[in-house]
Structure formats: structure tokens, C-alpha cells
Amino acid sequence: ATPMAVLTSTGRGAELGLFIKGARALESTRAVDTVLFDKTGTLTEGRMHVSAVVPVDGVPAEELLRLAASVEQGSEHPIGAGIVAAASSTADVDDFTALPGRGVTGTVDGRCVAVGTARMLADTAVELPAELVRRGAALEATCATVVGVVADDRLLGLVALTDEPRPSAPTAISTLRAIGLVPRMLTGDNLRTAVAVAARVGLDPATEVTADASPEDKVAAVRALQAAGHTVALVGDGINDAAALAAADLGIAVGRGTDAAIDAADIVLGRDDLTAVAAAVELARRTHRTIR
């Protein structure tokens, strides 16, 4: 690449709200044929609001939210901010631990509290009553993300959070298809929620969604596509995406994402506009023609 063509392109990129980290990023962008999107905070706004609290019998909803929010205070995940905003009070937390793609744990009022996915809860001694499983599944089918709250190995209930798709997501996906790329969702959230969101942004829920992916699973998904001969871009925002952003041929971080994602990425989207992904590919293709 001639320095001048690259400079012009990175300048044009800046106008599109793209921060492109160097000439190699442009080269990878040109070759991309598959674009994997994280869900929470990437295809969606990442502004989660509590839409339902489902306590088990005898637990006040306020107490459920207070314990959950006390632990979530330390979280960088949109789920944490949503739960903290919904609680009217919080207590101090000790021994806070974030388990990316799974949840958070900590000690509150001397009790060991965990908030996270059904899979994380399955690893604890906790049993989920059938009625709660049914209500959780019904909430997930409406696009909500459902987390369980456990204190001292006892399930206190579920919290459902909703998050709107970004307005630019459907156009971003249809534009990628129009220029010959394959878009997909790669999320740590559960399949029911993932499928419901996929349908709203124009992804095929049957063939273009991979859910329940841990941070390691996201890396494995990138590598599997690469092994099949694809050049893969991953668009993400979270700590849970950082390793996969680095593994991808092209890592694209959402500008308001976590520092870990921004550091690992080759391109940062300065605006919340996902159509910039297709614009970056078109820009890179044009830059290549200029250079040739």
C-alpha cells in the first residue's frame, strides 16, 4: 500500500467515524468475507433495563434486587448497570469476581451472592424450579436476557433485562449482504434470546446464530471459520470479546465498548452506527484499487 493511499483512506475513515489502526487493518478489511457480531452492546444498544423480577416464594423483589445490585456494582457489563439502576439501595460488596460471559459473584452482608446465566447456576448446587424455568424461557422469547440470583446456594429468583437493537443494525446487516459478505451473530447470551434478537435485525435465526458462547467458544468459532478458508471480522464491545477480536482477521470494537475490546481491535467505530462496518469494507476495496 502506498502511504498516500492509506493516509487518504484513514482520513476518509475518520469522516465515517472509523478509527483505523494502521495500514494492515485496511488490508484485512478488504479480504473479509464473514462478519460476526456480538449481541449485547453491539447489535443492541447495551442499555439494559430490568423488565421483570421473578422472585421465588417468600423473597421480596426489593431484597432480590438489592443483593443482585450490590454485587453488580463492580461489573462492566450492561446487565450490571441495568440491575443497579433498578435497585433502590445497595450494600458494599467484598471479594467481587467477574466471570466474563457467565456472571458475577461477591460477598454481601456476609452472604455469598452470585448473579448469572442458567449455565453458571447449574454449576452451583442450586436447583431451578420448573415454574421459574418456564417463566424465564417465556421472557427470553421476548428478547429479554434472564439472569438468576443466588445467595448461599439458594435461588432467590430471576431478573429479566431488555435491550433494544441498535436502529442501524438491520441496515448494517442488509448492506453487508448486498456487498457479498455473510453476517452472523456470535453471542454469550442464551439461544432463545439470541434468536429473538436475530429475527429483529434481519439475521436468519436458523443458520446465522451461535449462542451460549463463552469467551473461549468465541475464539474457537473464529478459528473454525478461518480453518474453513474464511477471512473473518468480529464486531464486539465486551471483555468477553477481547480474545476473539484479537483472533479474528479483523477486530472491530464499538467505540463505547470496554477498554479491553478497544485495545484488542484493529478498527474502532467512533459512532454507534453499525453501517460503518460495510462502509469500512467498501473503503478498503477502493483503497486497494487506488494502490494497484
Binding site for ligand ADP (CB under 6 A): 38-41, 72, 75, 77, 79-80, 101-104, 115-117, 145, 147, 187-189, 238, 240
Question: Using CB under 5 A, which of 72, 140, 163, 237 touches Mg ion?
Answer: 237
The residue among 78, 79, 74 whose CA lies nearest residue 91 is 74
Is residue 41 at the binding interface for Mg ion, with CB under 5 A as the rule?
A: yes
**Residue in 38, 189, 237, 266 annotated catalytic:** 38
Residue 266 is among the residues annotated as catalytic for this protein: no
Q: How far is the CB of 266 from ligand ADP (least distance, A)?
A: 19
Is residue 40 at the binding interface for Mg ion, with CB under 5 A as the rule?
A: yes
How far apart CA 136 and CA 125 sit, in angstroms, is 19
Is residue 251 at the binding interface for Mg ion, with CB under 5 A as the rule?
A: no
Q: Which is nearer to ligand ADP, 214 or 290 (CB)?
A: 214
Q: Distance between alpha carbon 135 and the CA centroid of its chain, in Å?
A: 23
How far apart CA 171 and CA 189 sit, in angstroms, is 23
Q: How far is the CB of 130 from ligand ADP (least distance, A)?
A: 20
The 182-186 sheet, strands edge to edge: 18-20, 267-269, 250-254, 232-236, 34-37, 182-186, 209-210
Is residue 238 at the binding interface for Mg ion, with CB under 5 A as the rule?
A: yes
Asked if 205 and 195 count as a contact pair (C-beta separation under 8 A), the reply is yes
Q: How far is the CB of 114 from ligand ADP (least distance, A)?
A: 9
How far apart CA 147 and CA 71 sit, in angstroms, is 13
Q: How far is the CB of 86 from Mg ion (least distance, A)?
A: 20
Q: What does 44 bind: Mg ion, ligand ADP, none (CB cut-off 5 to 8 Å by kind)? A: none
Phi and psi at residue 267, to the nearest 5°: -130, 140
Residue nearest to ligand ADP (CB): 188
Size of the site for Mg ion (CB under 5 A): 5
Q: How large is the angle between the packed helices 276-291 and 169-178, nearest 10 degrees?
A: 30
Is residue 163 at the binding interface for Mg ion, with CB under 5 A as the rule?
A: no
Phi and psi at residue 125, to the nearest 5°: -80, 10
Q: Return residues touching Mg ion (CB under 5 A).
A: 38, 40-41, 237-238
Q: Which residues are catalytic, by number?
A: 38
